[in-house]
Amino acid sequence: MIGQTAGGAALYQAMSSLGHAAESGYQGPARLSRARPGASVVVLGAGLAGMLAAVELRNAGYQVSVLEYQGRAGGRCWTLRGGDRYTELDGTTQDVGFAKGNYLNPGPWRVPHHHHAMMDLYRRYGVQLEPFNQVNHSAYVHHSQAFGGKPQRFHHISSDMRGHVTELLSKATRQGALDEAVTTEDREKLLAGLQSWGALDKDYRYIASLHSSEFRGFARAPGAGLMPQALASTPIDLHTLLQSNLWKHIGMENMQEFQTTIFQPVGGMDMLAQAMARDLGPLIQYHAKVSKVEQSENTVTVHYSDARRPGSLRKLSADWCVCTIPASILSQMELQVGSAMRAGIDSLPYASSNKIGLEFKRRFWEEDERIYGGISYTDLPIRQISYPSTGYMRPGPAVLLGAYTMEDNGSYRFASLTPRERIRMALEYGSQIHPQYLKEFKTGVAVAWHRVPWIQGCFGAWSDALRAQHYEAMAQVDGRIVLAGEHLSYLPAWQEGAVLSSLDAIQRLHAKALSA
């Protein structure tokens, strides 16, 4: 039987019929036919969308130029390391003081395994991935008004909610309240399932016991030899739990976006951007500040200047243009497109978001509190504390994410402060959860996305109404210009949205170029 073989196609068929094929609109890497000889494209922006477009169009035979405003490629696919300098819109400059090997990803920081286009890019460029620890049952959930402000371990809250919910449903089922919804045949299996998931006792009660402690944790863990015997812990009662509101932080991990396996590139999110920029080499012109994009029946002309030498006007012409400049910047530029696309560009608001990286002298969250990676959630304006998913147990300084806000009051409040004040605020709030903060702090860096010069916001914040009105018009090829980026996707803020948008846009542009 081992000797049997089957062809790849037969295997794939077998897999498809088993329902194994990925349920994704992604059709695999772009397979563009050959471009017309001499055809040219200018790509605006060397983020992931722009660079992928440039790579695929170059490979198809186009003459490609990429104009990038910054001195580096990647856009929001960005990593700040020790020695980096970052200047905000108002000129405030931060010199990142992190120790060697430490970093903050101010933008995207994780990649779900089912983001197939991104995973293919990592594979293609040989970028090494490691697991991003999204859920840590030993991390905290914290509300300033609950449990006297004491942070609670995730495993206590999640186990107790599950215990109470399964106990309640067992009770209803056994009392016959659900006889219409559950057949007699199913009732027994449902009760067995509830008993097992909830760690209920033989009478379907969720009570303090060594059994329930195997889920929620022990008051004293089982030991060895003649050590003291294990002690059961006592569940939190349902009323206290519900009124604490901590249950609101339970369950997000069940969303597909956050399900295992979820990754991060080893060494920082920008490892892929660096690899793609190396691939494109001299095709990328850095420090190119685009001011105007014109198009005629035959050509696209981009007006730009050297961002380091204002006034130095230049022009670049090509047959086609892929524009990945965020709508937030595009709305401030002259772009010769139809009124429907223009209306979309001018209407799309960008979300507010902050990230603050804090470097501490040691990994006290690991050493003192046994929290290895994962995220603590709080109702404080910092919202989250995320512990590094790399270098576990390494001695010396480490960086955690001390605040991650999005589209809330805290987000606007942070953005109104100087970086130094933001860091102080993150430390002040964070020390309510980790008192070690004050003693162990070394240095920090704060990125308020509305103050980032080259985007002035975090991501395109489509409402349903706005999308219905403008999205399709913005996604069209307008003459010789097509837009791409996460703002032209149904996966806002995700890199997958940016690269899928890029692939979709260049396929349509290429088809038009061939038929023109």
Binding of residue 184 to a copy of itself (CB under 8 A): no
| Cβ at position 343, least distance to a copy of itself in Å | 18
Rounded Cα gap, residues 70 and 67, in angstroms: 9
Q: Please give the radius of gyration of the chain, using alpha carbons only, rounded to the nearest integer.
A: 27
What are the residues whose beta carbons fall under 8 Å from the beta carbon of 183, sequence distance 6 or more?
none
User: For residue 101, with 0-12 CB atoms within 10 Å meaning exposed, 13-18 middle and 19 or more buried, which class applies?
Assistant: middle
Q: How many CB atoms lie within 10 A of CB 421?
A: 12
354 neighbors 415 (Cβ within 8 angstroms): yes
Does residue 327 sit in helix, strand or coil?
Answer: helix
| Cβ at position 84, least distance to a copy of itself in Å | 22
Binds a copy of itself (CB under 8 A): choice among 68, 319, 369, 478? 369
3-state secondary structure string across 86-148: EECCCCCEEECCCCCCCEECCCCCCEECCCHHHHHHHHHCCCCEEECCCCCCCCEEECCCCHH
Binding of residue 315 to a copy of itself (CB under 8 A): no
> Per CB under 8 A, which of residues 128..157 are in contact with a copy of itself?
128-131, 133, 135-138, 150-151, 155
DSSP for 18-72, written as a single string: TT-S---S--SS--PPPPPTT-EEEEE--BHHHHHHHHHHHHHT-EEEEE-SSSS
48 neighbors 235 (Cβ within 8 angstroms): no
Q: CB under 8 A: which stretch of 213-221, 282-290, 397-405, 451-459 binds a copy of itself?
A: 213-221
Question: How many chain residues interact with a copy of itself (CB under 8 A)?
Answer: 130
User: For residue 419, with 0-12 CB atoms within 10 Å meaning exposed, 13-18 middle and 19 or more buried, which class applies?
Assistant: buried
Of the candidates 233, 229, 175, the residue with the CA atom closest to the CA atom of residue 204:
175
284 neighbors 66 (Cβ within 8 angstroms): yes
Does residue 391 sit in helix, strand or coil?
Answer: coil
Q: Which is nearer to a copy of itself, 57 or 307 (CB)?
A: 57
Binds a copy of itself (CB under 8 A): choice among 59, 72, 97, 119? 119
Which amino acid, 245? Answer: N
> Per CB under 8 A, which of residues 188..207 are in contact with a copy of itself?
189-190, 193-194, 196-197
> Per CB under 8 A, which of residues 454..513 are in contact with a copy of itself?
472, 475-476, 484, 486, 488-491, 497-498, 500-501, 503-505, 508
Q: Which is nearer to a copy of itself, 165 or 207 (CB)?
A: 165
| Cβ at position 344, least distance to a copy of itself in Å | 13
Q: Which is nearer to a copy of itself, 170 or 328 (CB)?
A: 170
Q: Which is nearer to a copy of itself, 88 or 253 (CB)?
A: 253
| Cβ at position 311, least distance to a copy of itself in Å | 36
> Per CB under 8 A, which of residues 426..455 are in contact with a copy of itself?
427-428, 435-436, 438-439, 441
Binding of residue 161 to a copy of itself (CB under 8 A): yes
> Per CB under 8 A, which of residues 265..284 are in contact with a copy of itself?
none
Of the candidates 80, 94, 405, 95, the residue with the CA atom closest to the CA atom of residue 269:
80
Beta bridge partners of 377: 141, 384
Q: Which is nearer to a copy of itself, 23 or 297 (CB)?
A: 23
Rounded Cα gap, residues 184 and 173, in angstroms: 10
Q: Which is nearer to a copy of itself, 288 or 488 (CB)?
A: 488
What are the residues whose beta carbons fall under 8 Å from the beta carbon of 444, sequence distance 6 or more?
356, 357, 358, 359, 402, 423, 426, 427
> Per CB under 8 A, which of residues 222..241 are in contact with a copy of itself?
222-230, 233, 238-239
> Per CB under 8 A, which of residues 249..268 are in contact with a copy of itself?
250-251, 254-257, 259-261, 263
Q: Which is nearer to a copy of itself, 12 or 87 (CB)?
A: 12
Show the binding pattern over residues 9-28: x = contacts a copy of itself (CB under 8 A), - = does not: --xx-xx--xxx-xxxxx--
Binding of residue 348 to a copy of itself (CB under 8 A): no
Q: Which is nearer to a copy of itself, 94 or 159 (CB)?
A: 159
Binding of residue 242 to a copy of itself (CB under 8 A): yes
| Cβ at position 490, least distance to a copy of itself in Å | 4
Binds a copy of itself (CB under 8 A): choice among 34, 36, 100, 220? 220
In which residue are the tokens 């204002």 written? 310
Q: Which is nearer to a copy of itself, 20 or 308 (CB)?
A: 20
Rounded Cα gap, residues 248 and 246, in angstroms: 5
> Per CB under 8 A, which of residues 77..116 are in contact with a copy of itself?
113-114, 116
Binding of residue 30 to a copy of itself (CB under 8 A): no
